[in-house]
Structure 1
């Protein structure tokens, strides 16, 4: 079973290609596999950035491990040129950018 996480932020206009390039380079390294990432999808809509990540394990544990990795910190620093917090006044950590799920459905009838 996998677990998904959705990060919401703001994206600089026209930066989708740059952000995709940065993630493409990072996703070719050991970083996503070390964190248990099995899928990543990036979306933009009217200046908003949506980053859905699917983990094989616990996302909270993966994010705790990520904070201690130089490659994760480097990627985050590179993304700072293109991605900014949705609400800078309340942003203290990436946890403040995570959407809260409230409904899920699958064809097997599993619901949250």
Structure 2
């Protein structure tokens, strides 16, 4: 998978892509490309850097579920200091060893950054990812509250003036295309 900041048609030439999504958030347009091509192959393409990946299932099952349109991506956008990426990854790695991701319905989690912009992608089997995140907030699950508290030292709101709850950090999906599904 690759994340391109307003990549336009540049990613459409990639014949290995099996899903393209476009999200908007405040002043950003973000293109997310799931493909058979490793993100590391695209250094210099102006893409975000992935610093954490958790697959709740085998990678082949993940690709198959995405190709078939069974998974839905929710994207959280905030700000971070790129030097904090390893600590943020450690916090999520600790959380992802528990049953919390499965309880929440998370099937894959990826953390990316582009300069100081932080992208947290969660794939769910249902389309209501925003509602799932809101429910975790309302349920006050101690693990969710703990990771939110722990992340406050590393993650800043993209736009603090418009933020009231975690769902305010969720980007809006404006397009999904599965050209080779």
Q: TM-score, normalised by structure 2?
A: 0.57
Aligned residue in 2 for 1:65: 135
- SS state at 1:21 partner: helix
Distance 1:54 1:33 in 2: 11
Aligned residue in 1 for 2:53: none
Aligned partner of 1:101 among 165, 168, 173 = 173
Q: Kindly report the root-mean-square deviation, in angstroms, between the aligned alpha carbons of the 2 structures.
A: 1.4
Q: Report which of the two has the higher share of strand.
A: 2
Aligned partner of 1:14 among 83, 87, 90 = 83
CA deviations on 1:29-87 (whole Å, 9 max, x unpaired) are 01100001000111011111000100122313422331111110011100110001000
Aligned residue in 1 for 2:93: 24
Distance 1:13 1:56 in 2: 30
Q: Which has the larger radius of gyration?
A: 2
- SS state at 1:66 partner: helix
Choose between structure 1 and 2 for higher RCO, CA contacts under 8 A separated by at least 6 residues: 1
> Is there any run of 5+ residues in structure 1 with no aligned partner, and where?
none
- What does 1:38-57 correspond to in 2, within 5 Å? 38-57=107-126
Runs of 4+ in 1 over 2 A off after TM superposition: none
Tell me how far 1:108 sits from its aligned partner: 4.8
> Is there any run of 5+ residues in structure 2 with no aligned partner, and where?
1-69
Distance 2:82 2:108 in 1: 25
- SS state at 1:102 partner: strand
Q: TM-score, normalised by structure 1?
A: 0.90
- SS state at 2:93 partner: helix
